[in-house]
Amino acid sequence: MLPTLPDYINESPIFVIAIDFHYVVVPMNVIALLMVFESFTFTWLIYKNMETMNRRSLQSENTFKLQRKFLNAIYVQVAVFLVNIIVPLVFIFISLTFNIYNQAANNICFVFFSLHGLFSTLIMLWIHKPYREVCFKMLDLKRLSQKRSTVTVGATRSNRDDSRIRSTMQASVNMR
């Protein structure tokens, strides 16, 4: 249940679907826990796979460096995810536990929670160079608006008679 609401909220002509927090908090916590479990599982599996490959020396030093760089990028993405998901959930938990009601803080909390997709996308573009390059290439409007044409010119040698080649070229020009 919500904490004791101020009188101006109870007297306002608004419609509230439910004042029972179970309809909002329980599904949100279940989804958040599944997402956290999934993130940690995949990060741990990637780490263990890289560790196994490194011990077996099945890859070059350059490949190992690239994979280490990729794993560090994954760590940053997981950290951003945790900040976006866990911080709002902790605030909601504390506010429910201590019977604190602040509508502005609740709204900010849900906005922050919902910006997870945007923040993850921006972090991915900032960290992973191939994604960044493709997006910049796709957004390069000057190059997209220009018409492109390609002309291939090649020289060939022939042992045939030049006059025969000229007559063939004349015939093809006249056909057009």
- Closest alpha carbon to 5 in 19, 18, 24: 19
Q: What is the tens place of the pLDDT at every residue in 98-116?
A: 888 888 888 998 898 889 8
pLDDT 10s digits, 43-59? 899 888 888 877 877 77
Cα gap 34→24, rounded to integer Å: 16
Q: What is the pTM of this model?
A: 0.56
Domain ranges of the chain: 7-140
